[in-house]
Amino acid sequence: MSLTNRILLAMVSGILIGSLLNLILHSAGTPEMVQAGVNDYLVGGLFDVVGRIFVASLKLLVVPLVLVSLICGASSLGDSARMGPIALKTLGLYLATTAIAVGVALAFAVLVSPGSNVEMGVEATYKAAVAPPLTDVLVDIFPSNPVRAMADGKMLQIIVFALLFGYAISHAGEQGRRIAGFFRDLESVVMAMVGVLMKMAPYGVFALLAKLFATMGIGAILDLAAYFFTVLAVLLFHAFGVYPLLLRILAGLSPRMLLSKMRPVWAFAFSTASSGATLPITLHTVEKRLGVHNSVAGFTVPLGATINMDGTAIMQGVATVFIAQVYGVDLSMGAYITVILTATLASIGTAAVPGVGLITLALVLEQAGLPVEGIALIIGVDRLLDMVRTAVNVTGDAAVSVIVAKSEQQFDQSVFQDPRADFGGAVPSEGSTPTA
Ligand code: ASP
């Protein structure tokens, strides 16, 4: 069985077995000893340990991978004057797709009215975190100590440092060329580490999902069904409607290939609910399976994982309308535009880890003049939506990377079109050897 299928099988069986254990744990007929055993040894024991080790191993690769692949990318582009246009296109597309996502989310939510029949049953007690001033946010992008930036995993600071370093390499003559060669070798080694980790993925994905579904009551979805399914519908529409359309119009490529090659990445995103932890896999897939040259992917993918969160923005759009309806507040046209702007900005500020989209939602609600406590209404179903929206977030990163790479001729169409261009293959520019 191919690795993709094994990962997907692990995902499905994790969900099924987790849900079954949830039933066993909550059924009155199960002897207490069995419940305690399942809880302590399986859910809180084996699954927990395997899942946490898996996420830790993914995170382990993020900083080395981002650093090395950005340095390689920037050093090969540094003297070609394409760095500026690539950065502009990427940023423009990231912002535009996010704004489209919120716009569609608002339109859907207004049409469906998920909050109009909801009684405010929950005692809403959500306390918003205080947002730092914008000036600090800007200054914080620039590192004063690269080692601290890496130790703290500050992605934007690492990106700035790596871009500068890579650019300098391309302007340092013979010495620079030697260093560039070293980093290219290093990139192959780190990518090989990602390959090893991917082979472990079925176990990790299974353990994470089995534990989550064993502990999470799915009942909460029923109470919030209208909200839940509205967010889900817009997420699916964005992934299977908007991105394919953009890919066709802007790059003239078949979206089906991209979507099918993204499936294992979705399994990672879904089970970790973190675009940050999924980043090694996204980068690996975008470079080796979708044929985006490292000079573009090395920049677009880490940046996208950090600032491009269309799925998160969709949740925020629907949540805003939902909360307004529950509280009986009529949103004006101006408020909708404010929501589009703030949700787009908030998604940039959302860290690529589980649940942060809900925290930055406070910012959007505040700007729209809505009660921040409303967040308490939707917390119950957020984890499940987080898993799906993270998968949409990473799909956006991949789609934009492909579009930018195609427009810059940093793209290997034969790799993109080869369904078997796969894990462990060579770097696209060197011709890939399908192995799966
Ligand atoms: N979990 C999301 C991500 O990592 C962020 C969020 O929406 O909370 O992409």
Pocket test for ligand 1, best of 390, 394, 395, 397 (most atoms within 8 A of CB): 390
In a domain, 138, yes or no: yes
Centre of ligand 1 to C-alpha 302, Å, is 14
**Residue 436 and residue 210: Cα distance in Å, rounded?**
27
Asked whether residue 436 is domain-assigned, the answer is: no
Distance 233 CA to ligand 1 centre (A): 18
In a domain, 131, yes or no: yes
Mutate to test the pocket of ligand 1, among 309, 361, 382 (most ligand atoms within 8 A of CB): 309
Q: Say what the pLDDT of residue 426 is.
A: 39
What angle separates helix 275-284 from helix 48-77, to the nearest 10 degrees?
Answer: 60
137 Cα–ligand 1 center, Å: 19
Tell me, yes or no, whether 181 lies in a domain.
yes
Predicted pLDDT of residue 432:
38
Range of the domain at 133: 3-417
**Domains contained in the chain, number:** 1
Of residues 141, 109, 136, 111, the one with CA closest to residue 343:
109
Ligand 1: which of 307, 356, 397 to mutate, judged by most atoms within 8 Å of the beta carbon?
356
Q: Which atom of ligand 1 is nearest to the CA of 273?
A: 1
Ligand 1 center to residue 355 CA distance, Å? Answer: 6
Whether 429 maps to a domain, the answer reads no
Supply the CATH number for residue 368's domain.
Answer: 1.10.3860.10
* Centroid of ligand 1 to alpha carbon of 251 (angstroms): 27
Contacts of 48 (CB under 8 A, 6+ apart): 207, 211
Please give the distance, rounded to the nearest whole angstrom, from the Cα atom of residue 392 to the centre of ligand 1.
10
Backbone φ, ψ for residue 331 (5° rounding): -90, 135
Residues with CB under 6 A from ligand 1: 273-275, 309, 312, 350, 352-357, 386, 389-390, 393
**What are the phi and psi torsion angles at 203 (to 5°)?**
-70, -45
Q: Which of 155, 234, 363, 393 to mutate to test the pocket of ligand 1 (most atoms within 8 A of CB)?
A: 393
Q: Is residue 288 part of a domain?
A: yes
pTM listed for this prediction? 0.86
- Residue closest by Cα to atom 6 of ligand 1: 357
Asked if residue 75 lies in contact with residue 299, where contact means CB atoms within 8 angstroms, the answer is no
CA of residue 396 to ligand 1 center, whole Å = 13
In tens, the pLDDT along 187-221 reads 889 988 988 888 898 999 999 999 988 888 777 67
Q: Please report whether residue 104 resides in a domain.
A: yes
Q: What is the 407 CA–ligand 1 centroid distance (Å)?
A: 28
pLDDT < 70 regions, the chain: 119-132, 220, 422-436
346 within a domain of the structure (yes/no): yes
Query: What ligand 1 atom has the least distance to the C-alpha of 274?
Result: 4
Residue type, 2: S
Q: Which two tokens stand for residue 267?
A: 């399994």
Beta carbons of 302 and 336 less than 8 angstroms apart: no
Q: Which residues are CB-contacts of 212 (< 8 A; sequence separation ≥ 6)?
A: 18, 271, 383
